[in-house]
Amino acid sequence: MRSWRSALIAVALAACGVSPPPPDPTPSGSGVDCTKSVLTYENFGAPFIANWCRGCHSSGLPGDMRQDAPPDSNFDTLAEVHTWSDGIVSLAGSDPATMPPAGGPSDDERTLLVEWMTCGAN
């Protein structure tokens, strides 16, 4: 995932006439080739989050309907998903996954979740 700092460094290097190195196609040694990923928020992320996460992680839910999800852990927007990306990958994309607590997506869907999150969740 490209941070604002790495983007700022790339802009500064470009202003000095220095070309930054190309982005790593397999971030963090993940084994995911982001140059081949076609997953986007529109075609994967939004439906996945809506189907599997927002039943508990939505600011519009009263506390008793959140199934013990922390009150500040909401996935209503892409920005909020980015904020919680590490936790989403470790809890919903892990093997064995702990989220959602009552079961959930298939192993293939979880693999796609990790790919989408690893490649920037855009």
18-27, 53-62, 70-79: the lowest-pLDDT one? 18-27
pLDDT over threshold 90, residue 19:
no
Determine the pLDDT at residue 87: 92
Task: Specify the pLDDT at position 31.
Answer: 73
Q: In the chain, where are the structural domains located?
A: 25-118
Residue 105 confidence (pLDDT) above 80: yes
Quickly list DSSP for 62-122: -GGGSTT--TT---SSHHHHHHTHHHHHHHHSSSS---STT--S-HHHHHHHHHHHHTT--
pLDDT at 29 over 90: no
